[in-house]
Amino acid sequence: MVAGIESRFFEGPQNRRIPRYSLTDYDRGLFRTVGEILAVSLAQGGPSPAFLSPWTYSYLCSGQMNAMDLNRSVVADAQSQTLIDKVESSTEESIKDQDLIDEIYNRGFTGSVSLENKESIVRSLILHASLRLQPMLDELTEGLKLYGLLEIIRKYPDICRPLFVPGEDIKVNAEFFMGSIRPKLSEEGTNRHQVEMKMIDFLQDFLYEAEAEDQGHADDMEEPSPITPARLLQWITGQGHIPLLPSEKKDFGVVIDFNHDCATEFKEHTVCFPVVSACARTIRLPVKHMSSSEQFKAVLTEAFYLGQEFSSV
């Protein structure tokens, strides 16, 4: 839900999002609903909306725009960015283009459009882009009043900042996943123990490969979403984020169980899949069908994509 909110209602560089200008969403009260959902998510242990720009968070804390924060970084919509680029790169000849002049005046500038006023024009365009977001920001602020969250943010802005503005990396990665596993291993020295340790290595390779592929797809919105450590964690445990509270983080774990006896359980069969239990935060791996790195990746990938709903997989 929080990831969907980020992509649907916010725009700008990753980890520095600002609200997307939309009168339709504003008129329907959706930004207030967004604020309420974020408050509920935080009250229930996360995930936190740690994707906001410092400027957006500053507005939530104060309820007003700080002139010191108004710079190019607060402009996220493509049209405004393109217009500012045109002004900043303009020449004595291009600044006289009538379409450019009209566009500048339509966005609130009242002075003479000339190279001498280039800096003033850019400041005016930034101010216009910022001020038109104020209704969305105010609605978002109203929604954050749920459970008294806004009051807490404004009383402890520095403490609450990491919940909204990216700082320390709180995204689930392969390292966090591997640090959280609790494998139920057979007695050391046995053949079963050796096989299980090999599967742990397969899992580690799988996670780091998935993480690398995710980074490669980060800016490619046309590609389907690949498996990531966060999505795999959510499939197994129901939670795709690092716990917010230190006590929860300390106790968080993914139990890995190994099924060595599927041939006895299911008699003749070609393949069986890992079984996950989100409530118990457990995944049970069928050893016989994941004995090589290629088999491990193929079976786990198929189980993941086919097992997104409650089913027999």
What are the beta bridge partners of residue 286?
259
Q: Which residue has the higher pLDDT, 243 or 135?
A: 135
**Mean pLDDT value of segment 247-276:** 83
Confidence band, pLDDT 50/70/90 cuts, at residue 30: very high
Report the candidate in 250, 256, 214 with the shortest Cα–Cα distance to residue 231: 214
d(CA 134, CA 248) in angstroms, rounded, equals: 36
Residues listed for the chain: 313
pLDDT digits (tens, 9 = 90+) for 144-159: 999 999 999 999 999 8
**Mean pLDDT value of segment 175-198:** 90
Whether 271 and 288 have beta carbons less than 8 Å apart is answered as no
The structural domains of the chain, with segments of one domain joined by +, span 1-168, 174-306
Greatest distance between any 2 Cα atoms in the chain: 85
3-state secondary structure the chain: CHHHHHHHHEECCCCCEEECCCHHHHHCCHHHHHHHHHHHHHHCCCCCCCCECHHHHHHHHHCCCCHHHCCHHHCCCHHHHHHHHHHHCCCCCHHHCHHHHHHHHHCCCCCCCCHHHHHHHHHHHHHHHHHCCHHHHHHHHHHCCHHHHHHHHHHCHHHHHHHHCCCCCCCCCHHHHHHHEEECCCCCCCHHHHHHHHHHHHHHHHHHHHHHHHHHCCCCCCCCCCCCHHHHHHHHHCCCCCCCCHHHHHHCCEEEEEECCHHHHHCCCCCCCCEEECCCCEEEEEHHHCCCHHHHHHHHHHHHHHCCCCCCC
Q: Is 180's pLDDT higher than 60?
A: yes
Q: Is 182's pLDDT higher than 60?
A: yes
Residue 109 gets the label, from left (phi > 0), alpha (psi -120 to 50) or beta, of beta
% of the chain surpassing 70 pLDDT: 92
Q: Is 170's pLDDT higher than 70?
A: no
The confidence score (pLDDT) of residue 221 equals 43
- The answer to whether the peptide bond before residue 49 is cis (omega within 30 degrees of 0) is no
The confidence score (pLDDT) of residue 147 equals 93
Whether 129 and 75 have beta carbons less than 8 Å apart is answered as yes
Whether 233 and 254 have beta carbons less than 8 Å apart is answered as yes
Class of domain 174-306: alpha beta
Confidence band, pLDDT 50/70/90 cuts, at residue 93: confident
pLDDT digits (tens, 9 = 90+) for 80-90: 888 888 888 88
The confidence score (pLDDT) of residue 311 equals 46
% of the chain surpassing 90 pLDDT: 25
Confidence band, pLDDT 50/70/90 cuts, at residue 248: confident
